[in-house]
Chains A and B, each alone.
Chain A
Amino acid sequence: MKLKTSRLRRLHFRGSSCVIGAPYLWTILFFFIPFLIIFKISFADVSDTSQPPYSDLTSYEDNHVNIALNVGNYLDLFRCEDEEDCNVWKIDYDFLNFESVGLNIRDSLKGFFDAISTEFHVTIYIEAFWNSVKIAAVSTLICLLIGYPMAWSIAHSSQAMRSVLLMLVILPSWTSFLIRVYAWIGLLKPNGTINNVLMWFGIIHEPLNMMHTSFAVYIGVVYAYLPFMIMPLYTAISRVDNSLIEAAEDLGAKPFTILTKILLPLTSGGMIAGSMLVFIPAVGEYIIPELLGGPYNILIGQQLWIDFSNNHDWPKAAAIAVAMLLFLLVPIIWYFKQQKNEGVSK
């Protein structure tokens, strides 16, 4: 009998390790190995003769194996040698002028600021990356502000209503992402739906220029990623025991205090998860800025595509991809740490 159970247990163990092993295998096959290939390419040189257009890292010559690692692809992301690849950022320190209060800090600091150049030369890569991070961060914040009340009302609606509302949140994903972004062109363009309606009501007399602006990109990103914010928030909010809110109320807390002292801390896990789910893909977003954004302020995803497709500079594109991943690892690691802490506290 004992033998039988132990054998069963061993079988069970094997079975469970297979189940756990599947995602690992998946990650290794479809993420880790491709990433290593990209990583390898990022150290290569552009080559016009070979197909694909990059050189081998290793060459065999005179009984020697030569390994040539080209770090230049990474350095090019940061250094400004080539003028046409660089933009100039100027720091405007006029805001330091306190003359109105009878205090002239500006003059005393002028020397200091002149000493450190007020102009920064940044590469187009840094700039594209900065644009991406900015748009992703602001969009995440907007998603959080819109998504929280939505998730709250879904979590606190009746059982029947809840499934309907959740369905409505997910439903748009049933259409192709591309079509949904295209639909926004129809809404935002100069003779599009929004402008027509506003002009028909006489609110505006000339069409607003919304297409091909950062505004359009924000709208697109917030629209596309809002469900990813709502879902974890909904889960987190519905897990909060209603008696905790009643207890806080009972102890004299006003609605705003309940929100800041009870609800937000208890749903911080959901807020972090939602923010990660929006921020990380939004940083690398390509389709939305390509369709809705303007020719200026291009994002890192577009820059990567330009290098890869137009310039045939695979190593540079690979270097961008690796650098981006390394940058995004920071919030991902932080996220997992938070998740772990939360696991401990529960």
Chain B
Amino acid sequence: MLEHKDGQQKKEVKPPLLVIKNLSKSYIPGVLAVDDVNLTVNKGEIFALLGSSGCGKSTLLRMLAGFEKPTSGKIILDGQDLSNVPPYKRPVNMMFQSYALFPHMTVWNNIAFGLKQKHMPKDEIKENVEQMLALVHMEEFADRKPHQLSGGQRQRVALARSLATHPKLLLLDEPMGALDKKLRTKMQLELVDIIEKVGVTCIMVTHDQQEAMTMAERVAIMDCGEFLQVGDPEEIYENPNCRFTAEFIGSVNIFDGVLGENGSDFMYVECPALQNKIYIDAGAAIADGMKLSVAIRPEKITLSKEKPQQECNFEEGIVDNIAYMGDVSIYLIKLQSGQIVRTTLPNVDRFRKNQPTWDDKVFISWEPDSCIVLTI
């Protein structure tokens, strides 16, 4: 999610545009590619479906476009039930992963294609195409063929083409999938900029969590055809509701343990892999002795050479490996139990003086509120 200065304003409640009700799809009887999905997307929202390949996110997107017929359930866009509307009649346009630009047509004709299907008068088509070309800054390339464009330019043409007919819903299938990493970051911001300028509601599919978090206002984590968690990027990163989400988004250290002493606003977790207990400053409505996991993000773990002055939430270990990433270094710390803990250390000092090195004895520690308790 892009942080806007006028973020407060953006939070205002928008009316729902797309309602998905109990949507399921199975290709093989008994195997559900999409399993009873319910979702409401608001007008003007950028929504991301995030999951690894085969999780059903593409099937869901293709059902929205009309390329796949739902086995059961409903898709309602702006009050209209789309279930039996063929793709060419839906006010939904898709930007394909491969962009699917027509290779035998110029950029201009590619963008004009959808407008021509609407039998728009010629001068109106011209006006619209020029507007779209200006929107994506491709005016000079109007007469080029797709193969004469770079990857980024092709993406912009594909976006212009899918926006030209002013769809109510824009679908992006792995929008950055065909771009190299450097260009990706640039285009992510540019794409969001254009989409927000047009104000179109947008659903994107991606397997890249960074992309989803940069571009989308809300993200749904999908696995095995189901939504595991739906929320804004911060919520999903800081408060994952299950082990899969915690592990899928970002890196995480997970300690399996059992619930020990606990009260209404605190609990202790005893982990076989740790010598000290974990203290969490929040209560849990679960029974004593229950198995649970504690997840801690690497950047919330402090690394030091001196023993921390606290009774809980610290461990002793040795530096097993260091990966220098430029802005930070990733430290892999081997605990006495053998478990590897991942932590990061910002490279504030250019020559990294006084930083622990391989095989150094170190201590890791964390704050009680950094711990995420996971029961599933």
Q: Is A68 an interface residue (CB 8 A)?
A: no
Which of chain A's residues 245-273 have a Cβ closer than 8 Å to chain B?
246-254, 257, 261-262, 265-266
Determine if A250 and B102 form an interchain contact, defined as CB atoms under 8 angstroms apart: no
A63 → B minimal CB distance (Å)? 66
Determine if A244 and B165 form an interchain contact, defined as CB atoms under 8 angstroms apart: no
Which of chain B's residues 66-111 have a Cβ closer than 8 Å to chain A?
66-67, 86-90, 92-94, 96-98, 100-104
Determine if A252 and B96 form an interchain contact, defined as CB atoms under 8 angstroms apart: no
Determine if B103 and A254 form an interchain contact, defined as CB atoms under 8 angstroms apart: no
Determine if B100 and A244 form an interchain contact, defined as CB atoms under 8 angstroms apart: yes
- Given A246-B96, A249-B88, A254-B88, A266–B161 Cβ distance below 8 Å? no
Which residue of the partner chain B has the closest CB to A342? B104
Determine if B65 and A253 form an interchain contact, defined as CB atoms under 8 angstroms apart: no
Task: State which of B17-25, B27-35, B113-121, B271-279 sits at the interface with chain A.
Answer: B113-121
Residue among B89, B96, B97, B145 with max Cβ neighbours from chain A (10 Å): B96
Residue among B86, B87, B97, B161 with max Cβ neighbours from chain A (10 Å): B87
Which residues of the partner chain A approach B113 to less than 8 Å between Cβ atoms?
248, 251, 253, 261
Which residue of the partner chain B has the closest CB to A255? B88
A265 → B minimal CB distance (Å)? 5
Determine if B98 and A251 form an interchain contact, defined as CB atoms under 8 angstroms apart: no
A243, B118: Cα distance in complex, Å: 21
B205 → A minimal CB distance (Å)? 14
Q: Is A345 an interface residue (CB 8 A)?
A: yes
A173, B103: Cα distance in complex, Å: 36
A243, B97: Cα distance in complex, Å: 9
- Given A250-B65, A251-B161, A257-B117, A243–B102 Cβ distance below 8 Å? no
Which residue of the partner chain B has the closest CB to A251? B114
B170 → A minimal CB distance (Å)? 11
Determine if A252 and B100 form an interchain contact, defined as CB atoms under 8 angstroms apart: no
Q: Is A241 an interface residue (CB 8 A)?
A: yes
B153 → A minimal CB distance (Å)? 17
Which residues of the partner chain B approach A64 to less than 8 Å between Cβ atoms?
none
Which residue of the partner chain B has the closest CB to A243? B100
Determine if B88 and A266 form an interchain contact, defined as CB atoms under 8 angstroms apart: no
8 Å CB contact of B117 from A241, A243, A246, A251 = A251
A247, B95: Cα distance in complex, Å: 8
Which residue of the partner chain A has the closest CB to B161? A251
A266, B113: Cα distance in complex, Å: 15
Interface string of A327-346 (1 = CB under 8 A from B): 00000000000000000011
Which residues of the partner chain A approach B87 to less than 8 Å between Cβ atoms?
246, 249-250
Determine if A266 and B104 form an interchain contact, defined as CB atoms under 8 angstroms apart: yes
Determine if A247 and B96 form an interchain contact, defined as CB atoms under 8 angstroms apart: yes
Interface size class of B (residues with CB under 8 A): 20 to 34
Determine if B103 and A243 form an interchain contact, defined as CB atoms under 8 angstroms apart: no
Which residues of the partner chain B approach A262 to less than 8 Å between Cβ atoms?
102
A252 → B minimal CB distance (Å)? 4
- Given A251-B117, A253-B117, A241–B100 Cβ distance below 8 Å? yes
A261, B117: Cα distance in complex, Å: 11
Residue among A257, A261, A346 with max Cβ neighbours from chain B (10 Å): A261
Q: Is B126 an interface residue (CB 8 A)?
A: no
- Given A251-B93, A252-B114, A345-B147, A243–B98 Cβ distance below 8 Å? yes
Which residues of the partner chain B approach A250 to less than 8 Å between Cβ atoms?
65-67, 87-88, 90, 92-94, 162
Determine if B145 and A244 form an interchain contact, defined as CB atoms under 8 angstroms apart: no
A245 → B minimal CB distance (Å)? 9
Residue among B92, B103, B145 with max Cβ neighbours from chain A (10 Å): B103
Which residues of the partner chain A approach B161 to less than 8 Å between Cβ atoms?
251
Determine if B98 and A248 form an interchain contact, defined as CB atoms under 8 angstroms apart: no
Which residue of the partner chain B has the closest CB to A344? B147
A259 → B minimal CB distance (Å)? 13
Residue among B92, B93, B100, B118 with max Cβ neighbours from chain A (10 Å): B100
A49 → B minimal CB distance (Å)? 62
Which residues of the partner chain B approach A248 to less than 8 Å between Cβ atoms?
102, 113
Which residue of the partner chain A has the closest CB to B87? A249
B99 → A minimal CB distance (Å)? 8
Which residues of the partner chain A approach B66 to less than 8 Å between Cβ atoms?
250
A345, B100: Cα distance in complex, Å: 16
Which residues of the partner chain A approach B97 to less than 8 Å between Cβ atoms?
243
Which residues of the partner chain B approach A346 to less than 8 Å between Cβ atoms?
103, 147
A275, B164: Cα distance in complex, Å: 38
Interface string of A41-52 (1 = CB under 8 A from B): 000000000000
Which residues of the partner chain A approach B96 to less than 8 Å between Cβ atoms?
243, 246-247
Which residues of the partner chain B approach A254 to less than 8 Å between Cβ atoms?
88, 117
A298 → B minimal CB distance (Å)? 42
Interface string of A134-168 (1 = CB under 8 A from B): 00000000000000000000000000000000000
Interface residue ranges, A against B (CB under 8 Å): 241, 243-244, 246-254, 257, 261-262, 265-266, 345-346
9 pairs, CB–CB < 8 Å, chain A vs chain B: A241-B98, A244-B103, A246-B87, A247-B94, A247-B96, A251-B113, A251-B162, A252-B89, A253-B88
Interface residue ranges, B against A (CB under 8 Å): 65-67, 86-90, 92-94, 96-98, 100-104, 113-114, 117-118, 145, 147, 161-162, 165
18 new A-B contacts at CB < 8 Å, known A243-B97, A250-B162, A251-B161: A241-B100, A243-B96, A243-B100, A244-B103, A247-B94, A248-B102, A248-B113, A249-B67, A249-B87, A250-B94, A251-B88, A251-B93, A253-B113, A253-B117, A257-B117, A262-B102, A346-B103, A346-B147
Closest 9 CB pairs between A and B? A252-B117, A251-B114, A247-B100, A243-B100, A249-B87, A265-B104, A243-B96, A252-B88, A250-B94
